[in-house]
Amino acid sequence: MPDICIFYSKPDKTKVKALSSIIEDLGWNVWWDNDIKNGRWSTEIEKMVRTSRSVIPIWNSNAVRKTSITVAEAELSRQLGKPMITLISESISPPFPFNAEHITANISEWDLNIDADCVSKIIASLESELGIAPKKWRGERPSTINLLGKQVKLPCFVKSLSSHETQLDPEGGLSVLSVFPEIDALLVSAYDMYLKRNANKKIKNRHESMCKQLKNLDARGALILLDSGNYEKARKQDKTWTKRKFDWVLKNVPYTYAFCYDNLRPSKDIEKNVTNIISRVEGDYKDFLIPILHAPASKKIRKHDILPDLFLEYASRKKSPFIAVPERELGEGICQKVKTVVRIREKLDTLDHYQPIHILGTGNPLSILILAAAGADLFDGLEWCRTVADKNTGFLFHHQQFDFFKSQTRDMASHEIVRGAMLDDKNRLNLKMGLHNLDFFYNFMHDLQDDIQKSDISGMLHYRSMFNGQGFVDEINKLIPEFFK
């Protein structure tokens, strides 16, 4: 997928070619219509715009005409919410509604010099949207990443939904997520989004309602991840779940990215293991599939020590928005998991770009905090719809003990809708618990994001009384000393 699409009309082709070369030399992937080889203009353009991270329209007297392809490309980009870096190559105003966009630079007098002021402005604008240019990266940990036009703050907790052992089924969970005002990321399982051919009207209506809610959340800017369904398949021992059904969901359900249909029995040979994973993210949906790396097993015990080299091999061979690994495969205990993530991050930081890490199945606040400090970036877990969080300590309790924490919702909630839901006797307890937990995680992740950028996990563990006074603080200090200044 391209990082940047450039739109223009013929008089600016020479400048587009030069600008594309400059941008690509900084490590970004650029697409412009010179890359169309098969003549399928409309299909290719739509595909590139949809999968791009940002767009650069260049306006001149030809491009501003209502019938120009530049207008059509810019309008599609606007509808999809793509960040837009607006350039002009003549002293004109872009057509409505693009005349409301800030004009980054006028390239009418540009002599193709790489050191020109207009080039510096363009690069600065791109970095403000996409983060520091890959080949200028010097090991900084980004505070945000751009995922198909969605600005995601790091670390990010992805709220998972599942039909297996939760207090909110996927339909109920989507309803709770839909009413909460601050939803950055969520995960649904392909297993729960599959619609059988012979489904009755009630099930069809339920499926349609869930897809509508996903579309609405997408329109609000939420990152929507689609899981392969293998978690539910394993937990429910359902041998009828197949890749064919997964492929149907890929075609019929809204999402931003989908995790690939993963191989649970990978080769012990790192090169063969990676080759197999790459084959699973190729194909018709290659621009939207995220790899899941699995450590090979020996006597049912995963060899977590191979994961750092496995991550590096994959990231060296194929670029991915993020790379996922199940938390349970990182080691037997939390300390071993932390050590494994630290080693993975050390390996990945030898690359010429920042490679985000996604930990599958992590929803415990303390685990998120420690693994984020170790170098992980995204997490997904079911705890928010399975347990209840104590806002004072960050610890999780059985969902039936929510009554003990109702006062926290009334007195400490950051969002009025959460307090209002608690006071409405018509609302079910599970709805109130879900909103309570969403409110907790919103504040928890906001604080964690600040402290990660400051390299100050001690702020979470001590100054804010989160987990304060617990014996494991000293152990974390030994594992990640850089966060205890």
User: In order of start, what are the domains of the chain with their CATH numbers?
Assistant: 4-136 (3.40.50.10140), 144-483 (3.20.20.105)
Which pLDDT belongs to residue 463?
46
C-alpha to C-alpha distance for 223 and 158, rounded to whole angstroms: 8
pLDDT for 88 equals: 93
Distance between CA atoms of residues 169 and 171, nearest Å = 6
> In the chain, which stretches have pLDDT less than 70?
35-40, 458-473, 482-485
Contacts of 201 by beta carbon, 8 Å cutoff, 6+ apart: none
Place of tokens 């751009």: 146
With H, G, I as helix, E, B as strand and everything else as coil, classify residue 235: helix
Predicted local confidence at residue 410, as pLDDT: 83
Q: Where are the beta strands (DSSP E) in 287-391?
A: 289-290, 297-298, 301-302, 323-326, 357-360, 378-381, 387-389
Using CA atoms of 273, 277, 279, 281 in order, give the dihedral in degrees to the nearest 10: -170
Specify the pLDDT at position 462: 55
